[in-house]
């Protein structure tokens, strides 16, 4: 989940590296560092600067003049070893010649550390990455080129990695390798870039080469050549990024999370463009690579995702059951492959990931495919690992999402599930009239999100009150339960307040014992066939001294069941959960702001979880 950036060309490398790391900081912000090569300095042919904390702490630690036109940088999310300067990347070999940055996990690092120690190598960090630097240096000392040394070192490694390696005696190049962690090469005019993510290099180039697992590449200012472990050359062609620098700026907002919440009306409308088929009352999803006759053969749908994507997957499974009338359920991708799942040819497997690089979800894709199943993806990042490996899918087209806590992309996931459910429904038993009804509901969503956002101030006031509580419940029933789960997730990950989601009907089976004036509840109460039961549950909370913030529809008579009321516009009952989720985003955001927390960079978390 770390961020990697590299540069080789005519510019001074350090400013390019720092800028790239700043763009990548959502991938990790425990520590950061750079290594720069300067062949003109015989005393200091290479310099490494590292700092615990944010990229700004690294920038403050850099000397005024850090000369050198080749370099690598890293921003870290700790796996092995606590966040500290000595555990920060880049890591350097015992002879000072090799510098390495790494994203991933080396599973056999303990064995490698033991062997290196027996050989007399003194390791200075607690990380798994440091062993790579020593292994490469050992191969170089045996007379290998940097390319061959990296390949030989990688041959001793078990695990996942995206690597960028410098050799102080070969200052004209950066050698990279990929297995299970994202890595790309940026193609410039007389200069080249390396990065975990296009955001790091978009200001410099729009042409990138996406590396595959098993790829190596030697990168110089004039270009690159890629190859595999078997020494075969690979022909990796550059593609054009659909990304601009402006999309990565705050644009007048105080935080990226706030910006991304407010981008949703426009981004959802963009996502729906060209995907609604009025003539047949269905959705146009050519990217699924499944004809209607193939879709009709599926008797069940299994949704796989991690974290918030899993909760949205539960919401999506509910939509599929409602509209297609076939069994559907969701489970965490992180658990799926470890239970030796039974893969059925009559089941359509759907994986969900904003980044398309979520390791647990990617491994679930491979498990399904290894056993002969059909798997499609709902992915935001074009060209990502999951997008390239699934059998088909739906691109979310949410645009870049920088805040660690996902909002915009999750709404797009919900829309993606609605389109999939509509498509499946129309090849099963959903009538043309109901298809048209869902299409009308989808078209209304962008304007209805804008309507919710227009009432932000009242939501902010409710959030400020909730922020004073040490703990709270989010409750919902059936379609409202995934909304409650996502609301609790968003609240706790950026406010650090304990928030727990419960099915409303389960409160009386134990959790009601916790209700007190100090523990408020956020209740999802849509105007559906369970509205009376939801109101009764809220009244049970109120009768025991608990306060209730109700997210509901206009016209619902709550009586004295709620202390505060938040209204969202009505849509079709199957689509209502999409809109009911929007207020929970703002509640979490404004509570975190009231508490003075770093909204975009919550502690211990990273945006893209590319390790197990």
Could you tell me if 309 and 352 are in contact, meaning their C-beta atoms sit under 8 angstroms apart?
yes
Catalytic residue among 2, 408, 490, 492: 2
Catalytic residue among 259, 302, 490, 607: 607
Q: Under a CB-based contact definition with an 8 Å cutoff, are residues 502 and 477 in contact?
A: no
To the query of whether residue 492 is one of the catalytic residues in this protein, the response is: no
Q: How far is CA 500 from CA 91, 421, 473, 587, in A?
A: 40, 29, 5, 15
- Closest to 304 measured CA to CA, from 369, 378, 370, 372: 378
The 3-state DSSP class for residue 574 equals: coil
Q: Residues 195, 268, 489, 376: is their CA dihedral positive or negative? A: negative
Beta strand extents in 22-65 (DSSP E only): 31-37, 46-52
DSSP 3-state helix, strand, coil percentages of the chain (rounded to 5)?
40, 25, 40
Which of 216, 231, 234, 237 is CA-nearest to residue 164?
Answer: 216
Q: Are 176 and 7 in contact (CB under 8 A)?
A: no
Catalytic annotation present for 2:
yes
How far is Cα 205 from Cα 570, in angstroms, rounded to an integer? Answer: 44
196 in Cβ contact with 182 (< 8 Å) = yes
Residue entry with tokens 């193609």: 187
How many Å apart are CA 236 and CA 575, to the nearest integer?
42
With 0-12 CB in 10 A as exposed, 13-18 as middle and 19+ as buried, what is 227? middle
User: What is the 8-class DSSP label of residue 337?
Assistant: G
Q: H-type helices in 480-549, by residue range? A: 480-495, 531-543
Give every CB contact of residue 420 below 8 A, 6+ residues apart in sequence: 283, 285, 288, 316, 320, 350, 378, 394
Q: How many CB atoms lie within 10 A of CB 549?
A: 23
* Alpha-helical regions (H) of 325-391: 333-336, 359-370, 385-389
Q: Which tokens is 105 given?
A: 């996990």
Cis bond leading into 217, ω under 30°? no
Q: In this structure, what DSSP letter does residue 54 have?
A: -
Any idea which residues carry the catalytic annotation?
2, 607
């Amino acid at each position: 989940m770390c961020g990697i950036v590299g540069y080789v060309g005519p510019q001074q490398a350090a400013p390019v590296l720092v800028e790239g790391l700043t763009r990548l900081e959502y991938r990790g912000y425990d520590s950061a560092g750079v290594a720069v090569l300067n062949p003109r300095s015989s005393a200091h042919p290479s310099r490494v600067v590292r700092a615990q904390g944010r990229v700004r702490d690294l920038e403050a630690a850099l000397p005024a003049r850090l000369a050198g036109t080749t370099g690598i940088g890293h921003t870290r999310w700790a796996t092995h070893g606590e966040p500290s300067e000595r555990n920060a990347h880049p890591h350097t070999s015992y002879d000072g010649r090799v510098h390495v940055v790494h994203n991933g996990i080396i599973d056999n690092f303990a064995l490698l550390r033991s062997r290196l120690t027996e050989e007399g190598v003194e390791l200075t960090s607690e990380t798994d990455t440091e062993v790579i630097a020593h292994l490469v240096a050992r191969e170089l000392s045996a007379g290998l080129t940097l390319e061959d040394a990296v390949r030989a070192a990688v041959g001793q490694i078990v695990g996942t990695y995206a690597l960028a390696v410098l050799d102080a005696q070969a200052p004209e190049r950066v050698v990279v390798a990929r297995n299970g962690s994202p890595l790309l090469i940026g193609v410039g005019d007389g200069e080249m870039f390396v990065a975990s993510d296009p955001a790091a290099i978009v200001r410099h180039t729009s042409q990138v080469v996406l590396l595959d697992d098993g790829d190596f590449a030697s990168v110089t200012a004039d270009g690159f050549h890629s190859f595999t472990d078997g020494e075969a050359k690979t022909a990796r062609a550059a593609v054009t990024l659909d990304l601009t620098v402006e999309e990565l700026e705050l644009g007048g907002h105080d935080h990226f999370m706030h910006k991304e919440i407010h981008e949703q009306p426009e981004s959802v409308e963009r996502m729906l463009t060209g995907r609604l088929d009025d003539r047949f009352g269905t959705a146009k999803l050519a990217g699924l690579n499944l004809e209607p006759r193939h879709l009709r053969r599926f008797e069940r749908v299994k949704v796989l995702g991690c974290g918030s994507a899993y909760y949205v997957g539960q919401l999506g499974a509910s939509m599929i059951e409602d509209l297609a009338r076939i069994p559907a359920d969701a489970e965490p991708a992180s658990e799926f492959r470890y239970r030796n799942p039974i893969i059925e040819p009559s089941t359509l497997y759907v994986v969900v990931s904003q980044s398309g690089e979520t390791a647990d979800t990617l491994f679930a894709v491979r498990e399904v495919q290894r056993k002969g199943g059909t798997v499609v993806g709902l992915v935001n990042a074009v060209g990502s690992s999951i997008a390239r490996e699934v059998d088909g899918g739906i691109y979310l087209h949410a645009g870049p999402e920088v805040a660690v806590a996902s909002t915009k992309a999750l709404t797009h996931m919900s829309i993606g599930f609605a389109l999939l459910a509509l498509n499946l429904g129309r090849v099963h038993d959903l009538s043309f009239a109901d298809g048209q009804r869902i299409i009308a509901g989808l078209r209304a969503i962008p304007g209805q999100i804008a309507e919710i956002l227009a009432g932000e101030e009242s939501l902010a006031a409710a959030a400020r009150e909730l922020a004073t509580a040490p703990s709270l419940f989010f409750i919902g029933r059936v379609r409202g339960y995934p909304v409650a789960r996502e609301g609790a997730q968003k609240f706790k990950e950026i406010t650090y307040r304990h928030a727990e989601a419960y099915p409303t009907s389960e409160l009386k089976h134990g959790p009601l014992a916790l209700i007190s004036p100090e523990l408020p509840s956020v209740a999802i109460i849509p105007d559906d066939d369970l509205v009376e039961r939801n109101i009764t549950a809220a009244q049970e909370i109120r009768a025991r001294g608990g306060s209730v913030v109700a997210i509901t529809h206009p016209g619902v008579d709550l009586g004295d069941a709620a202390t505060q009321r938040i209204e969202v516009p009505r849509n079709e009952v199957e689509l209502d959960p999409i809109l009911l989720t929007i207020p929970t985003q703002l509640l979490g955001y404004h509570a975190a702001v009231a508490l003075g927390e770093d909204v975009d960079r919550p502690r211990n978390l990273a945006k893209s979880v590319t390790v197990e």
